[in-house]
Amino acid sequence: MSNKITLGHVHMSGCTGCCVSIADTYGGLFTLLDNYADLVYTLTLVDVRHIPKMDVALVEGSVCLQDELSIEEIKETREKATVVVALGGCSAYGNITRFSRGGQFNQPQHESYVPIAKLIDVDVYIPGCAPNPEMVRNVAVMAYLLLKGNDAQKKLATAYLAPLMALAKDGSRIESDSEACGCDVMLKVINQGLCMGCGTCAASCPVFAISMEYGKPNIDREMCIKCGACYASCPRSFFSFDVCGDYENILGAISAAMNPGGN
């Protein structure tokens, strides 16, 4: 199908968990590849050695500053891809690689890891460790609608992607040094008088670092891996009445896209 978008998975310093997440929609991945996207670059699945031109690059992992190839490849990704998506906590915020201080064999000098937005501008963030397969699917469908859809679909995709683009824009600012940890929930939500105790942050935390104490999130910072899921999930981090109020149509559109035969 010539109308498909081209999609690649670029592997920086990550654990391949994000790559697994792409495949974790089971049949959903086949539907995506059959109808909407050609996978043009990814470890083990596609035999392409150099980063090709592509519409959407899903970048997993942070960039190791002591690894020249990583730096070259992330810059090349920016050049070759129309839309760069930071897929997962490491790529978007550093995540667990924030805690690295080097000293591991066989490359003990590899000690400095930065989110990709420290080196290139990023268009969309999908936080979380590992990123939720359904989020990867939703963003892939929306990217398709944005690049190949009609005007109404483009508008819908733009509105849907807006908050994820805003997170990326914030991360791409030169002075940005978001910790993307439970601290964001404290600094940007509770300290700002916005928390209403819904518990979504606690439910979203992959390492159970957030517990609800007397109806408010209590953050165990020793546990936090800085994946950014809690803040991105929080209805008071960003909330669009237009998008969320239209949940029936949007969820319907995604589900129709994932079930093109109508079965």
- Both structure tokens of 32: 């995506």
Among residues 48 and 251, whose Cβ is nearest to another protein? 251
Rounded CA-CA distance 92/210 in Å is: 20
Among 160, 168, 171, 180, binds another protein (CB under 8 A): 160
Among residues 14 and 133, whose Cβ is nearest to another protein? 133
CB of 122 to another protein, least distance (A): 16
Among 28, 115, 133, 171, binds another protein (CB under 8 A): 133
Among 4, 11, 80, 236, binds another protein (CB under 8 A): 236
Among residues 6 and 204, whose Cβ is nearest to another protein? 204
Other CB atoms within a 10 A radius of the CB of residue 121 amount to 13
Among 10, 37, 81, 126, binds another protein (CB under 8 A): 126
CB of 8 to another protein, least distance (A): 22
Cα-flanking dihedrals φ and ψ of residue 196, to 5°? -120, 15
Among 8, 28, 94, 131, binds another protein (CB under 8 A): 131
CB of 179 to another protein, least distance (A): 17
Q: If residue 256 lies in a helix (H) or strand (E), which one and from where to where?
A: helix 247-257
**8 Å CB contact between 13 and 113:** yes
Among residues 40 and 202, whose Cβ is nearest to another protein? 202
Rounded CA-CA distance 239/42 in Å is: 33
| Backbone torsion region of residue 103, taken as left when φ is above 0, otherwise alpha when ψ lies between -120 and 50, otherwise beta | left
CB of 262 to another protein, least distance (A): 17
204 SS3 class? helix
Among 2, 247, 261, 262, binds another protein (CB under 8 A): 247
Rounded CA-CA distance 261/179 in Å is: 44
Rounded CA-CA distance 119/215 in Å is: 39
Q: Is position 204 an interface residue for another protein (rule: CB under 8 A)?
A: yes
Q: Is position 250 an interface residue for another protein (rule: CB under 8 A)?
A: yes
Going from the C-alpha of 97 to that of each of 10, 73, 93, 216, the distances in angstroms are: 17, 18, 9, 28
Instruction: Pick the closest to residue 3 from 29, 36, 33, 34 (CA basis).
Output: 36
Among 40, 81, 116, 135, binds another protein (CB under 8 A): 135
Q: Which residues bind another protein (CB under 8 A)?
A: 126-128, 131-135, 138, 160, 162-164, 166, 188, 192-200, 202-206, 212, 214-216, 229-230, 232-241, 243-245, 247-248, 250-251
